[in-house]
Structure 1
Amino acid sequence: MSSAAMRGCFVTGTDTEVGKTRVSAALLHWLGAQGLRCAGYKPVAAGTEVIGGEDVNDDVRALRDASSVALTDADVGPLQFKAACAPHIAAALEGRTIERAFLLRGALALATRAEQLVVEGVGGFCVPLGPNFDSADFAMDLDFPVVLVVGLRLGCINHALLTAEAIHARGLRLAGWVANTVDPAMLYRADNLATLRQELRRRHQAPCLGMVPRLTGPDPAAVAVHLDDAALRTLFELP
């Protein structure tokens, strides 16, 4: 299978800890509810803890559990590093390297088992992974439509518009964005949302795919109800 034959989306964020995994898992839940075979993929994950005698990355496990096909942690997250820091630093601490071709091979392997992939990036959009490539380069290798998770907090408008410009500059399509509440006490939240809607639509024709409030747990089904069903059908080219 060639990369052109793969279907899915690439999920990135305005920063780290803005809810990429939460939104990615919700997208997987939604796809599964449509009767589709779907798989989550987070090829580079930094930060593990020992659970039951094995190293576990919470993001990888969440995507595995939300997928509608049976996967192992290694299928979802083939490169997991112990230290919770920038991935190229975490890799260097373990004497390992992140190979660009390896990341794409993992996606291609999953695509033989699933109709749709939800691929989660690491940190923001332009995170170094090796001496000569970053997470944006990997997004280009996939050539998937991009979903931007905007963490709602002070500064999010600038972060969102800069990230959207970086996506556009690499020839990728920003297919939509999801507002995820990071700071529930954010001042002028409605005004910020109105500006994001207007500017991302005007500059990139990118619709809002959903607005997620502050939730007590990461349950994908609870997040998915806050996503726009019609917009997701357009994103994944479903009737």
Structure 2
Amino acid sequence: MKGVFVTGTGTSIGKTVVCGLLAGFLRAQGMRVTTQKWVETGVTDGPSDIDVHRRLMGDPGPASEPSPSDRCPYRFSLPASPHLAAAREGRRVDPIVIEAAYRRLAESHDAVLVEGAGGFLVPLSEELLTGDLVARIGLPVLVVAGNRLGCVNDVLLTVEAVRRRGIPLLGVVFNRLPGEGDGTSAEVQADNPRIVAEITRAPVLGEVPFLSDPARGAEAFEPVGRACLERWRST
């Protein structure tokens, strides 16, 4: 094991919660786990995505916390694609910095879960897409999708982009987190995972149910976590 890249079909579809709960599940299995986010944009004084991961992962025990700059090498205030948010501050996202930070985390942990910013093809710079850096580092990909009307096309496009780069696909996790699927019929929500599995032949590793408080969601997430772990071990 070591690393997995948690991407999504877009922004605000539950990657942060799924990443944090999966890290917590793996930690509960006795693994040394950490999370990473290469670039976070829209940074405010509120909790960062890494803070959310930390809260969902639970007590790390005696293990020391990795350096904040390794867990999130780049943070920008503008809520935009990384290439634009960096340019606004006169900075540039350097893939060498990101890869070095990932390698340091991987050396001291059994598993590193990397949460992407936005979708799989979001530009980190004008020359580099997120998916190309994932391929360069060699991380398998877990796709998170909000189970709502219209998500099938988004999942198919993401899976195709992953496979075109020769990247191992762990599978797809659907979610019904707050705001996901509002107004979508039960028939559509039941069919979305089925048709995605039928067309892509990719493993659908489960669905995260609606969680009013994700911090109390470890038990509800366990079937998804177990499916992800079994798939990861077999890849």
Q: Secondary structure at the match of 2:170?
A: strand
Residue 161 (structure 2) aligned to one of 133, 158, 166? 166
Instruction: Provide the C-alpha distance between the structure 2 equivalents of 1:138 and 1:193, rounded to a whole number of angstroms.
Output: 34
Conserved 8 A contact 1:149-1:178: yes
Per the alignment, residue 58 of structure 1 pairs with 48
> What is the Cα deviation at residue 63 of structure 1?
2.6
Conserved 8 A contact 1:11-1:118: yes
> What is the Cα deviation at residue 163 of structure 1?
0.8
Which stretches of structure 1, 4 residues or longer, exceed 6 Å deviation after superposition? none
Return the TM-score normalized by structure 2. 0.87
> What is the Cα deviation at residue 223 of structure 1?
5.0
Query: Is 1:16 the counterpart of 2:11 in the alignment?
Result: yes
Q: Percent identity?
A: 34
Instruction: Provide the C-alpha distance between the structure 2 equivalents of 1:73 and 1:190, rounded to a whole number of angstroms.
Output: 43
Per the alignment, residue 210 of structure 1 pairs with 206
> What is the Cα deviation at residue 99 of structure 1?
0.9
Point out where structure 2 has 5 or more consecutive residues left out of the alignment: none
Q: Secondary structure at the match of 2:119?
A: coil
Alpha-carbon distance change, 58 to 217 in structure 1, aligned in 2, over 3 angstroms: farther
Per the alignment, residue 115 of structure 2 pairs with 120
Moved more, 10-19 or 194-203: 194-203
1:134-213 map, 5 Å: 134-181=129-176, 182-203=179-200, 205-213=201-209
> What is the Cα deviation at residue 88 of structure 1?
1.0
Corresponding pairs, count: 226
RMSD: 2.1
Return the TM-score normalized by structure 1. 0.86
Moved more, 161-170 or 188-197: 188-197
> What is the Cα deviation at residue 75 of structure 1?
2.6
Instruction: Provide the C-alpha distance between the structure 1 equivalents of 2:137 and 2:212, rounded to a whole number of angstroms.
Output: 33
> What is the Cα deviation at residue 230 of structure 1?
4.1
